[in-house]
Amino acid sequence: MKNILFTLLLTISFFTYGQKKELKQAQKLIDQEFYNEALDVLQNNKELILSSDIKYQAHYYYLNGWALKEDSKSLKAVESLRKSIELERSIRQKKYIEDANILIQNAEAELVNSAVEDNKNDKFLEASKKLYDAYLMNPDKEENITYLYYSASSAVNSKEYDKALEYYLKLKNMGYTGVVSEYYVTSIETGVEEKVSETEYNLFKNSDEYTNQRIGKTESRLPEIVKNIALIYVQKGENDSAISAIKEARAINPNDVNLILSEADLYIKIGDKNKFKELMQQAVEKDPNNAILYYNLGVINGEQGEFKVAKDYYLKALKLDNTYTATYLNLVGLILEGEGPIVEEMNKLVTSRKASDMNKYDELENDRINLYKECLPYLEKLIEIDPTNIEALKTAKNIYYTTDDLDNFKLMNIKLQELENQ
């Protein structure tokens, strides 16, 4: 019985020695920056080590996480390091916990920084994947949930709409808003308000050097998230889901003009021009100094044949912003819509020899000329703003010719030739 016991003890001792040896070998390889080799050693001895004492298991996961991190396998590294921390805490040991936490922080920071660089270089898909991994490193932490938000945004930029939708829906369902506190103090010496950290705020709020301490809140990201969900549904052709999502977004923030415009854009995409017009009018009511809104109302009313209404909207748009070239072109095009009925009536009279018809023909010709002349101030202003606008130059050239303004006709012709020769 004693011999058997002796043999067992010897076996256990040898078993432990083997574990220590392999772990020391892996540690040495990591110290020498041979990370793949260290991973091979750990993998080849995984079963042996993980069937031993918890302290050796903790050491294994720590080394494995360290090597994985340096091998750019950040998410797996963090999972392994967290396992090491968990095991050490279970036996009330703190040999690797501090270093493991530092490695976790570094792995997360490196991954996020790499994603930022990817976004700067238009590598949106790579950025999205890295940010999602950063989120998974600690999905219950508010900061990491923010990584999920940016991952969704990068997925949109990479046109990975299914992934973006998955992430946005996840954010919506968890009630994510992204609202955070912001801290401000005002320097008594300069009178300038400064944004500070929470720590600084707590230090300064009782200071004689600062006053007007206040805590603000950032805007909620939820309306944007729901809006993006709707737009992705539009992109996917799922219009019913899109309409439902955008209505939900507006219910959350009914005064958000951008949401009204998003809904309007949705309806124009599905061909409901009346609903588009209704929503654009709502937007104008909330933002009456926005020239683009009046421009869009001009476009939709013009398309529906309501030329007088459309003209009024274009003129309002120009009053608010006289530099938007598209407004001038559309207004000129709208005015020239009136030429068609005049020419049609003139063609009916062209062969008549009746004095009354001939007089009528002359009146119509005069109306036609006046129509052209009405366009000229808008064309001339447009050419002043954009001297290279070929469409404006050609239209002005034709009008000058028709109205017998040959000097300006020649001038327009010269400008067009100069542009063609560039």
pLDDT above 90 for 413: yes
pLDDT above 90 for 116: yes
Mean pLDDT of the chain: 87
At what angle are helices 74-90 and 97-120 packed, to 10 degrees?
A: 160
Predicted pLDDT at 119: 93
Confidence of residue 3 (pLDDT cuts 50, 70, 90): very low
Q: In this structure, what CATH number is given to the domain that contains residue 400?
A: 1.25.40
- pTM as predicted: 0.62
Candidates 126, 116, 226; CA nearest to 171 is 226
- Check whether residue 145 and residue 204 sit in a common domain: no
Radius of gyration (C-alpha) of the chain in whole angstroms = 36
- Check whether residue 86 and residue 131 sit in a common domain: no
Please report, as a single letter, which amino acid is at residue 207: S
Structure tokens that stand for 46 in this block: 């995984």
Please report, as a single letter, which amino acid is at residue 17: Y
Domain end among 85, 109, 133:
109
Share of the chain above pLDDT 90, in %: 47
At what angle are helices 273-286 and 291-303 packed, to 10 degrees?
A: 160
- Check whether residue 209 and residue 192 sit in a common domain: yes
Please report, as a single letter, which amino acid is at residue 372: Y
- Check whether residue 105 and residue 136 sit in a common domain: no
Stated as kind and residue range, the H or E segment containing 17 is: helix 2-31
- List the single range of 1-10, 97-106, 357-366, 398-407 with lowest mean pLDDT: 1-10
- Check whether residue 167 and residue 186 sit in a common domain: no
The answer as to whether 62 is a domain residue is: yes
- Check whether residue 138 and residue 45 sit in a common domain: no
The answer as to whether 100 is a domain residue is: yes
Predicted pLDDT at 19: 64
Residue range 14-20: average pLDDT?
A: 52
DSSP 52: S
- Name, in order, each residue with C-beta under 8 angstroms of 303's C-beta and a sequence gap of 6 or more: 273
The answer as to whether 192 is a domain residue is: yes
Asked if 375 contacts 336 with a C-beta cutoff of 8 angstroms, the reply is yes
Q: What does the alpha-carbon distance between residue 77 and residue 66 come to, in Å, rounded to a whole number?
A: 7
Q: What does the alpha-carbon distance between residue 320 and residue 337 come to, in Å, rounded to a whole number?
A: 24
Asked if 376 contacts 412 with a C-beta cutoff of 8 angstroms, the reply is no
**Cα distances (Å, whole numbers) of residue 185 to 95, 181, 190, 308, 387:** 42, 14, 11, 54, 50
Q: What is the pLDDT of residues 328-347, one digit of tens each?
A: 999 999 999 998 999 998 89
The answer as to whether 347 is a domain residue is: yes
- Check whether residue 205 and residue 143 sit in a common domain: no
Q: What does the alpha-carbon distance between residue 52 and residue 35 come to, in Å, rounded to a whole number?
A: 24
Helix/strand/coil (H/E/C) assignment for every residue in 222-271? HHHHHHHHHHHHHHCCCHHHHHHHHHHHHHHCCCCHHHHHHHHHHHHHCC
Structure tokens that stand for 404 in this block: 């017998």
Residue ranges of alpha helices (H) inside 91-221 are 97-120, 124-137, 142-157, 161-173, 198-204
Output the DSSP codes for 254-316: TT-HHHHHHHHHHHHHTT-HHHHHHHHHHHHHH-TT-HHHHHHHHHHHHHTT-HHHHHHHHHH
pLDDT above 50 for 2: no
- Check whether residue 19 and residue 96 sit in a common domain: yes
Residue range 38-44: average pLDDT?
A: 90
- Check whether residue 187 and residue 152 sit in a common domain: no
Asked if 29 contacts 37 with a C-beta cutoff of 8 angstroms, the reply is yes
pLDDT above 60 for 12: no
CB neighbours (10 Å) of residue 46? 13
Predicted pLDDT at 273: 86
- Check whether residue 137 and residue 199 sit in a common domain: no
Please report, as a single letter, which amino acid is at residue 262: S
Q: What does the alpha-carbon distance between residue 266 and residue 246 come to, in Å, rounded to a whole number?
A: 9
Q: What does the alpha-carbon distance between residue 300 and residue 280 come to, in Å, rounded to a whole number?
A: 10
The domain tally of the chain equals: 4
Predicted pLDDT at 5: 39
The answer as to whether 261 is a domain residue is: no
- Check whether residue 73 and residue 39 sit in a common domain: yes
Domain that holds residue 157: 122-173
Residue range 140-169: average pLDDT?
A: 94
Residue range 189-195: average pLDDT?
A: 87
Q: How many residues does this entry show for the chain?
A: 422
**Cα distances (Å, whole numbers) of residue 292 to 298, 315, 326, 330:** 10, 12, 10, 13
Count CA atoms within 13 Å of residue 385 on its CB side.
17
The SS3 assignment for 84 reads helix
pLDDT higher at 280 or 379: 379
Q: What is the pLDDT of residues 208-228, one digit of tens each?
A: 888 888 888 888 888 788 888
The answer as to whether 198 is a domain residue is: yes
- List the single range of 95-99, 130-134, 198-202 with lowest mean pLDDT: 198-202
The answer as to whether 33 is a domain residue is: yes
The answer as to whether 239 is a domain residue is: no
- Check whether residue 148 and residue 201 sit in a common domain: no
Residue range 389-399: average pLDDT?
A: 94
Residue range 236-265: average pLDDT?
A: 82
Q: What is the pLDDT of residues 47-104, one digit of tens each?
A: 888 888 899 899 989 999 899 988 888 889 889 999 999 999 999 989 999 998 999 8
pLDDT above 90 for 122: yes
